[in-house]
Structure 1
Amino acid sequence: MNHYTFPILLGVLVGVITRLIMLRTDTRQYPTRLHGKIVHIAMGFIAAILGAVAIPSIMKKDFSALTFLTLAASQFRDVRNMERNTLQQLDGVELVPRGSTYIEGIALVFESRNYLAMMASFVTTFAYFAFNSPIAGVIAGIASFFAAKALMSGGRLQDLVEIEHAPLRFDGAGLYIDNIYIMNIGLPARQKEIMKYGMGFLLKPKSMDANITLSNLGQRQAILHDVAVGLGVVRDSGTPALVPLAKRDLNDGRIGVFVLPQEHDVEKAIQIIGNVPTLENAIRLSSEAAKGGRTSS
């Protein structure tokens, strides 16, 4: 072993631990246990190795070794494509699908977390060599853990809206939540099923930015999917009347959320809706747009 061995091993260890910290299977059961996790752990290990060997390669003036970083970027894009394709296939058999916006957000997260693992190992190895001290490397690694933890925690819907339970009602054949029209149900038997199993919620945006974000159909579909996963759903294929929907009040931007959960727990449903991630592709910051000007790229 030479003097590069321990810094590289420390960097790889920090990178792998960082990826493990960011790898969680939640109520949505993704990534799946166990095989889904193995894929991401393996990619995290590769990312950690590439980040750890970057500094020794520069010190030895072996710049050709750094070309592996560009190869890694290509491989991580393949991870993103793999996740996207897998989830799109799974979405076809979901009773309440995730939607393409949610899928793209999940795929982007898995790609970016490999870069975070690479960066953690790079910073750790750099600190080790810069101060010629394993303690400096450990401190840098611990700081990387906290940084990764902060970066992996995106926004939640509860930051954008106020959520309240609202009763369902029928006006003739029209189903309403407050004054928000949801859909038309003509059969009395279906109306009874909806009143028996259905629940309604109102989402009131806290700002104009939140109003515009909630208008995104992908964001609304993510809400319906997470509620269905967390509380179950009373429907089967071939029952178009029993479809969860989220409709918008065109006057003030409120969202009426109609769901058919198997578990009627209002507080738990509000908590699930509040914890729905704010999708990056749905976020709109109209308040920061330059008035009368063009957006910059």
Structure 2
Amino acid sequence: MTAFLIENKYTVGIMLGVIFGLASRILMLRTDYRQYPTYPHGRIIHISLGVIAAALGAVAVPALFNKDYTAITFLTLAAQQFRDVRKMERDTLTKIDELELVQRGTTYIEGIAMVFEGRNYLVIMTAFFSSLFAISFTWYYGLAAGIVSMIIVLALRSGKSISHIASAESVPVKQDGPDLLVGDIYIMNVGLKVNQELIAERGLGVIIKPYNPNGKATLSNLGQRQAILYDLSTILGVYRDDGEPALIPMAKLDMRDGRLAIFLLPQEKNASKAREIVLRVPILESAVRMPTEAKVNQQEGS
């Protein structure tokens, strides 16, 4: 058996690379409350792309050992293919978003598309290192490299959430005549009596307080606000139908201190659950702002 593994180290390395690469893609593939990727067909598409990415990463190692450097150029073709996948995901989600009662928003969609592209590169990395160590040393080194790569993939699978940059508090929804407020933050003017009664019965409010100027700048991003509204509406439901603008969930910023007020009419009125959902909303990479990292602000603090 040992002699067979030594004689066929390239084959063993490629097999280990493909296995670990595919396993890492399956590990990162999850259909959750957002129902994307869809099950089963959307998942089949992404698993198939994972097989291709794993094969590319695993086969690159024997090509390097055989000094077949021209064969590495197919990795550039793979990168182009995965960029096309990102575009496909973006276009698909944009079309779907037009039919949502509460939309994800462009920033959220771009974040999802970026994640799907990036995860294919993580698959290539896992397959490459598994194959490299198996061929360079022996199969159990490849096994160890694959396990370490999977741990790295797990660490990179999820980014930060709102809880890392802000606290959240459930607050009462108030009506002062036609004026609607969440806590002490003004939301909008509601003139119709029937809407006022509905808001009094079902209205739910959350105030998000940023920890620092970076969190304040991130929460002021319209795409990040829309992501919060979408997650709340998806999990708790939304009590509205098309053509009812007065009942749409809203997020308004307190211009004085940067607090963000969330107003929602959910199907399930649960204040503690709403607060927990807000804290778990992912921070969108495109929405992150870090004004404290600017040299002018660092000079002021020194």
Common fold by TM > 0.5: yes
Alignment of 1:229-268 (within 5 A): 229-268=234-273
Q: Is 1:224–2:242 an aligned residue pair? A: no
For 1:87, which of 93, 97, 103 is the aligned residue?
A: 93
Q: For residue 45 of structure 2, what is the amino acid of its counterpart?
A: V
Q: Is 1:34–2:40 an aligned residue pair? A: yes
Alignment of 1:148-159 (within 5 A): 148-159=153-164
Deviations 1:179-228 (A, max 9, x none): 21111111111111111111001000011100000000000000000001
Displacement after TM superposition at 1:3 (Å): 3.3
Q: Is the 8 A contact 2:206 2:274 kept in 1?
A: no
Percent identical pairs in the alignment equals 51
Aligned mates of 1:3, 1:281 — CA distance in 2:
43
Aligned mates of 2:40, 2:29 — CA distance in 1:
12
Aligned mates of 1:290, 1:17 — CA distance in 2:
43
Q: Is 1:45–2:51 an aligned residue pair? A: yes
For 2:122, which of 104, 116, 119 is the aligned residue?
A: 116
Residue 202 of structure 1 is matched in structure 2 by: 207
> How many residue pairs are counted as aligned between the two chains?
292
Q: Is 1:135–2:140 an aligned residue pair? A: yes
Let me know the Cα RMSD of the aligned residues. Answer: 1.2
Displacement after TM superposition at 1:127 (Å): 1.1
Displacement after TM superposition at 1:251 (Å): 0.1
Residue 13 of structure 1 is matched in structure 2 by: 19
Name whichever of 24-33 and 249-258 sits farther off. 24-33
Aligned mates of 1:103, 1:195 — CA distance in 2:
33
SS of 1:182's equivalent in the other structure is: strand
Residue 96 of structure 1 is matched in structure 2 by: 102
Structure (1/2) with the larger helix percentage: 2
Aligned mates of 1:40, 1:273 — CA distance in 2:
28
Residue 184 of structure 1 is matched in structure 2 by: 189
Displacement after TM superposition at 1:166 (Å): 0.7
Displacement after TM superposition at 1:129 (Å): 2.0
Deviations 1:112-165 (A, max 9, x none): 00000000000111111222x111000000001110011111000111111111
Aligned mates of 1:276, 1:182 — CA distance in 2:
21
For 1:173, which of 178, 187, 196 is the aligned residue?
A: 178
Aligned mates of 1:161, 1:196 — CA distance in 2:
28
Q: Which runs of 4+ in 1 moved over 4 A?
A: none
Q: TM-score, normalised by structure 2?
A: 0.95
Aligned mates of 1:253, 1:157 — CA distance in 2:
14
Q: TM-score, normalised by structure 1?
A: 0.96
Aligned mates of 2:67, 2:269 — CA distance in 1:
64
For 2:74, which of 68, 72, 88 is the aligned residue?
A: 68
